[in-house]
Amino acid sequence: MLLLAIETSCDETSVALLRDGCVMANAVSSQVELHEEYGGVVPELASREHLRNLMPVARQALDQAGMTPGELDAVAATRGPGLPGALLVGLRAAQGMAFALAKPFIGVHHHEAHLYSPWTGGEPLSLALDDFQPNVSLIVSGGHTMLVHVGAPLEHRVLGGTVDDAAGECFDKAAKLIGLPYPGGPELDRLASEGNGSVHNFPRPKLRDDSHDFSFSGLKTAVRYFIRDNPGVLEDGQQLRDLCAGVQEAIVDVLVAKTIRAAKKMGAKCVTASGGVTCNSGLRAALKAACARDGFALRLANPILCTDNAAMVGMAAHLRLANDGETTPLDAEIEPNWKLIILN
């Protein structure tokens, strides 16, 4: 079974090829430079860039895998959630390919794709669910922050999510206030690794709240006021690194504490994490330490699968096809606000 998968839900244009669930190619073209001068993703520009890049990226993936479109057995694409114009580009292209080749099409839920990336590993990358354990999964990126209970493959229940900014958005907005280039998360991470986080005590929103929800806009505001009142910290290398470490620790503390609490509450023995912020070195280290302390198995998505990519979309499509063979109609619409609900 040769499957081509497309991801265009936000600012990464990606095409992957999977043979029987093994990743043969995963080409990704990031739009970071395009959106940099605006300090965030501009939806209209993102759609146009996907239109420009999709076919060259598809060609790159096919060449890398040494395959031709005529060999495909199925085509998948992210159907939602995401930016409407951006989703339309990938979905319609995939449906067009499936139509022309008379092959099945699978519309994939973007969060479902993230959920299985921690179970993807090896060389070539493939989905390994033999040692699957019921888990609480943290999906944490620039667009989403949520906790999901995965009782069995394809049995999900959303426990909670952010009520305002996503954690990655908070990293990026705090980094912007600090004067770091967009997207600031990775650079803030680098500076934080040389800083002392205990110099500052930024708010840990909803840390003690019993719900599984998150809120990060108050933390961003606290950083804004701190910089307004202490502009000198940005001029001093060590103070700036300490500030970065303080912001990162506040975000990481909340993410880790709430993930562990949810896992305990759900009686899960395993914790997983995926999404762009899962690249954060502080978050990876803190999740490892907390899971070791509390006796949870931990599966972190491989950093190359953390940020948006089509390989994870292909994995989710493969899983659905293998599960019940259900496909998606060729005239199915995009679902920009698609909720990941109780699926079973």
Nearest-approach distance from CB 139 to Zn ion, in angstroms: 7
Tell me, by CB under 5 A, how many residues bind Zn ion. Answer: 2
Q: Is 148 in the site for ligand KG4 (CB under 6 A)?
A: no
Q: Which helix (H) or strand (E) holds 135?
A: strand 135-140
Of the ranges 50-58, 117-125, 137-145, 312-320, which one interacts with Zn ion (CB under 5 A)? 137-145
Residue in 114, 94, 115, 116 with CA at minimum distance from that of residue 105: 94
Q: Which does 162 bind (CB under 5 to 8 A by kind): Zn ion, ligand KG4, none?
A: none
Nearest-approach distance from CB 12 to ligand KG4, in angstroms: 6
- Residue choice 107, 168, 195, 314 for contact with ligand KG4 (CB under 6 A): 168
Whether the Cβ atoms of residue 72 and residue 103 lie closer than 8 Å to each other: yes
Q: Cα–Cα distances in Å, from 228 out to 197, 205, 224?
A: 19, 21, 6
Closer residue to ligand KG4 in complex, CB, 74/169: 169
Whether the Cβ atoms of residue 144 and residue 169 lie closer than 8 Å to each other: no
Closer residue to ligand KG4 in complex, CB, 269/288: 288
For the chain, the farthest-separated pair of C-alpha atoms sits apart, in whole angstroms, at 63
Residue in 252, 264, 244 with CA at minimum distance from that of residue 289: 252
Q: Is 195 in the site for ligand KG4 (CB under 6 A)?
A: no
Tell me, by CB under 6 A, how many residues bind ligand KG4. Answer: 18
Amino acid at 185: G
| Nearest residue to ligand KG4, by Cβ distance, number only | 276
Q: Is 143 in the site for ligand KG4 (CB under 6 A)?
A: yes
Whether the Cβ atoms of residue 112 and residue 318 lie closer than 8 Å to each other: no
Q: Is 141 in the site for Zn ion (CB under 5 A)?
A: yes
| Residue owning tokens 């906790």 | 147
Question: Alpha-carbon distance 99 to 101, whole Å?
Answer: 5
Q: Is 307 in the site for Zn ion (CB under 5 A)?
A: no
Question: Alpha-carbon distance 31 to 119, whole Å?
Answer: 27
Q: What angle do CA 297, 313, 19 make, to 5 degrees?
A: 95
Map residues 237-266 to x or -, x wherever contact with ligand KG4 holds by CB under 6 A.
------------------------------
Nearest-approach distance from CB 262 to ligand KG4, in angstroms: 20
* DSSP-derived pairing of the beta strands 2-7 and 74-80: parallel
- Residue choice 7, 165, 308, 335 for contact with Zn ion (CB under 5 A): 308
- Residue choice 80, 85, 185, 205 for contact with ligand KG4 (CB under 6 A): 185
Nearest-approach distance from CB 130 to ligand KG4, in angstroms: 27
Q: Is the peptide bond before 118 cis (omega within 30 degrees of 0)?
A: no
Question: Alpha-carbon distance 213 to 258, whole Å?
Answer: 8
Q: Is 43 in the site for ligand KG4 (CB under 6 A)?
A: no
Q: How many CB atoms lie within 10 A of CB 236?
A: 11
- Residue choice 80, 205, 276, 314 for contact with ligand KG4 (CB under 6 A): 276
Q: Is 112 in the site for ligand KG4 (CB under 6 A)?
A: no
| Residues of the shown chain interacting with Zn ion in the complex, contacts defined by CB under 5 A | 141, 308
| Residues of the shown chain interacting with ligand KG4 in the complex, contacts defined by CB under 6 A | 10, 141-143, 168, 171-172, 183, 185-186, 189, 275-277, 279-280, 307-308
